[in-house]
Structure formats: structure tokens, C-alpha cells
């Protein structure tokens, strides 16, 4: 069974600085998808970024980027120029490939990020 | 576009009562997921549907929990009878078919069983 590990229960970063959140996963599949979700105190689950395993290029979304290392099964999230609004719980998620229908995501335990003014 | 709509947003009820949580997925999405989130256990998948058919309910904790999806635009999660340990935030999510489709989450229902 696939598993997702986030080894940092809590992280903090100074406003305007850069922080990297770690995620590792275990799978025997060669094709799959990876996601980062953000959950602020409002408890909404917000998609931050996604990565397809067959793409070597790391995904980027504005201040958010990933470092995808397929051989190491690592999928870290880098937040540049951190803002107070980035403070949230961040979840890494794995999804097996899907030809037609939605697939069961495997979520990591989350990393709580604090942003210090 | 309207997102996933869950109701109620908060529910407080006494132990033993029946609780029904409701979810309206995003129009055109073929898959629907029910999750439970607690501090102790994190985010757990309870059950998911593809085209209104339950695919995997192995996460449903016990027979007190049941879920239905009578049509493509509505699903319910029912707990009967409810117990204090069922207190959690329950999320519904939906996704469309094909490709690396993310799951879109509702705002969740915070359930408190007294």
C-alpha cells in the first residue's frame, strides 16, 4: 500500500523568507500524481500545486514550487517570500494513475507552518 | 462556479441521536469522497463513489456509519447512533474523471457529539 510521510510536524519561517516542507512517499507505481494542499485556520482544504510523475520539470505556482525527486520518492514544497497568509497546515497527497475515474488519495499527516512577522 | 457544498457547517447533538451530513459535489464531477479529520488520526478517507457507485468503504469505522449517493448531485453520510468519539470535522470532496484531477473539498462539517 502507498504511504505518505511528512517528517516535520511543525515548521516556522520569518516573513519574506523561504521555507521548504518535506514529503516522501512509497509506491511501486511508475506513474502517479502528487499534490500539496493547504488548510488554513478556516479549515478549507485548498489545492496549492500538483505534479505528474512522468513530467521531469518541477511544477511552480507563483511563490510555490516543488522539488520532485522521483528516484528518491521525494516531493518537497518550497514557499518563497513567505507571507502571513501562508500560515496553515500543509498536506502532501499521493494519487495513483486514473484513466477514467477519481482515485483514492493518500494524505500525509501534515506540517503546521507558522509565519513570524 | 460553485464549489462543493456541505451542510450543516456545524452540528451539535447528543449521544445516541442520528446525524445526517449532506454534500453537493461540483457539477460534472464523477467521483465523490467522504473524509473525517481529527487531531489524533489526521485526515481519513471513509468512503468514495465513482458515478454514484460506492467503490471503497473500507474506511467506514463501523456499521453505525452509512453513506449514500442517490444521484450525481447529492450524497449523505449518516451516523446512527452517534457517539462522542464520532466528534470530528467531516469533509466531502469531488473530482472529475481522467488525468491528474485534484480533489475539490467542501468547507467541512464540524460535528460535536455530547
The per-residue pLDDT for range B41-51, each reduced to its tens digit, is 889 999 999 89
C-alpha cell at A61: 505556482
Euclidean distance between CA atoms A30 and A28, whole angstroms: 7
Residues from chain A that touch B101, judged by Cβ atoms under 8 A, are 98, 102
The distance of Cα A95 from the centroid of its chain, to the nearest Å, equals 12
Residue B94 has pLDDT above 60, yes or no: yes
The per-residue pLDDT for range A38-50, each reduced to its tens digit, is 999 999 999 999 9
How far apart are the two ends of chain B, measured CA to CA in Å? 37
Say whether residue B72 is in contact with chain A using an 8 A CB cutoff: no
Determine whether the interchain pair A107/B42 forms a contact, defined as Cβ–Cβ distance below 8 Å.
yes
**How many Cα atoms within 13 Å fall on the side-chain side of residue B62?**
8
C-alpha cell at A58: 518541477
Dihedral pair phi/psi, residue A24, rounded to 5° = -125, 155
Euclidean distance between CA atoms A51 and A33, whole angstroms: 6
Residues from chain A that touch B94, judged by Cβ atoms under 8 A, are 102
Residue B16 has pLDDT above 70, yes or no: yes
C-alpha cell at B12: 451539535
Residues from chain B that touch A45, judged by Cβ atoms under 8 A, are 91, 93, 105, 108
Label residue A30 by pLDDT band (50, 70, 90): confident
Determine whether the interchain pair B98/A100 forms a contact, defined as Cβ–Cβ distance below 8 Å.
yes
Amino acid at each position: 500500500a502507498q504511504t505518505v510521510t511528512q517528517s516535520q510536524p511543525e515548521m516556522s519561517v520569518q516573513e519574506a523568507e523561504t521555507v521548504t516542507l518535506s514529503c516522501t512517499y512509497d509506491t511501486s507505481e511508475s506513474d502517479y500524481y502528487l499534490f500539496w494542499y493547504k488548510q488554513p485556520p478556516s479549515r478549507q482544504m485548498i489545492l496549492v500545486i500538483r505534479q505528474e510523475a512522468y513530467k521531469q520539470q518541477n511544477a511552480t505556482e507563483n511563490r510555490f514550487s516543488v522539488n520532485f525527486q522521483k528516484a528518491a520518492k521525494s516531493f518537497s514544497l518550497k514557499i518563497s517570500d513567505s507571507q502571513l497568509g501562508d500560515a496553515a497546515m500543509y498536506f502532501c497527497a499521493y494519487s495513483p494513475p486514473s484513466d477514467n475515474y477519481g482515485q483514492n488519495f493518500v494524505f500525509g499527516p501534515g506540517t503546521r507552518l507558522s509565519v513570524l512577522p | 462556479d460553485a464549489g462543493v457544498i456541505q451542510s450543516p457547517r456545524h452540528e451539535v447533538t447528543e449521544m445516541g441521536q442520528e446525524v445526517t451530513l449532506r454534500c453537493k459535489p461540483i457539477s460534472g464531477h464523477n467521483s465523490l469522497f467522504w473524509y473525517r479529520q481529527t487531531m489524533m488520526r489526521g485526515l481519513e478517507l471513509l468512503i468514495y463513489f465513482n458515478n454514484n457507485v460506492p467503490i471503497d468503504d473500507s474506511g467506514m469505522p463501523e456499521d453505525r456509519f452509512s453513506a449514500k449517493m442517490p444521484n450525481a448531485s447529492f450524497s449523505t453520510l449518516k451516523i446512527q447512533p452517534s457517539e462522542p468519539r464520532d466528534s470530528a470535522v467531516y469533509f466531502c470532496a469531488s473530482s472529475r474523471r481522467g488525468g491528474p484531477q485534484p480533489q475539490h473539498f467542501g468547507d467541512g462539517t464540524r460535528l460535536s457529539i455530547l
